[in-house]
Amino acid sequence: MSLLLHIDTSLSVASVCLSNDKDSIALSVNEHQQGHAAWLHQAIDEMIKKSGHTIKNLEAISVSIGPGSYTGLRVGLSSAKGLCYSMSIPLIAITTTELMASAVTNEAEDLICPVIDARRMEVYSAVYDKILNEIKTPHSLIVEETSFAEFLDTHKILFCGDGCKKLQPIIRHENVTYSNTVANATHLAQLAFNRFEKKDFADLAYTEPLYIKEFYSSPQKN
């Protein structure tokens, strides 16, 4: 069996998971978004020790690369890349929207649409079929009554993610269902193992967060 580490810090609740092949064996969760950076490395160390392994047993690391929290994306990806570099193991990069969609495949009849709160009336979104083929790539949009109109008349859509609270008062249609399922790093395990078997690895030097919108950092005060 192959021991894999999975990291998701792109959403408001961060999580890390260990898996043997595709089967999760340990999970650690942090519900305080502002503390993801301080929490992450300690959580990984403690989880690996409690599982009876050492970090040297890892054969690959998967990480969600966005869209999502700008700070969270940088924290997760930089940590994953640093560990991969130090141990000479491969990195597996998975979009946050695919991670979210994978958490609700058993609820979907047709299409799955992850939606991530992007402040104001904007969300990050993508569209997948129920076997996770990507129908529409991750993008940002302002929520309006006509959002997703190209799908609603001919498809049933399952919406998932924290962006649902923005959609529910506005998008009401007989083909729409809203899921309460919350994705976490355990849902990376199956996705990552599939890529691991295919040797579908990310480029450690050039993989960047999927911000969708350009990231601006606040100027430092003198």
**What DSSP assignment string belongs to 96-128?**
HHHHHHHTTTTT-SSEEEEEEE-STTEEEEEEE
Please name the CATH architecture into which domain 104-178 falls: 2-Layer Sandwich (3.30)
pLDDT at 214: 55
Domain coordinates of the chain in residue numbers?
A: 3-96+183-198, 104-178
pLDDT at 215: 44
pLDDT in tens, 64-89: 999 999 999 999 999 999 999 999 99
Paired strand residues for 93: 63
Q: Does domain 3-96+183-198 have CATH number 3.30.420.40?
A: yes
Q: CA 173, CA 153: separation in Å to the nearest integer? A: 9
Q: What is the mean pLDDT of the chain?
A: 93
| Phi, psi dihedral angles at 84 (to 5 degrees) | -65, -45
pLDDT at 222: 44
**SS3 assignment, position 79:** helix
Quote the DSSP letter at residue 205: T
Average pLDDT over residues 104-126: 96
pLDDT in tens, 142-176: 999 999 999 999 999 999 999 999 999 999 999 99
- Judge if 3-96+183-198 and 104-178 fold alike in CATH terms: yes
| Phi, psi dihedral angles at 158 (to 5 degrees) | -105, 115
Identify the CA nearest to 18 among candidates 7, 4, 1. Answer: 4
pLDDT in tens, 4-38: 999 999 998 999 999 999 999 999 999 876 677 88
**Separate counts of helices (H) and strands (E) for the chain:** 6, 10
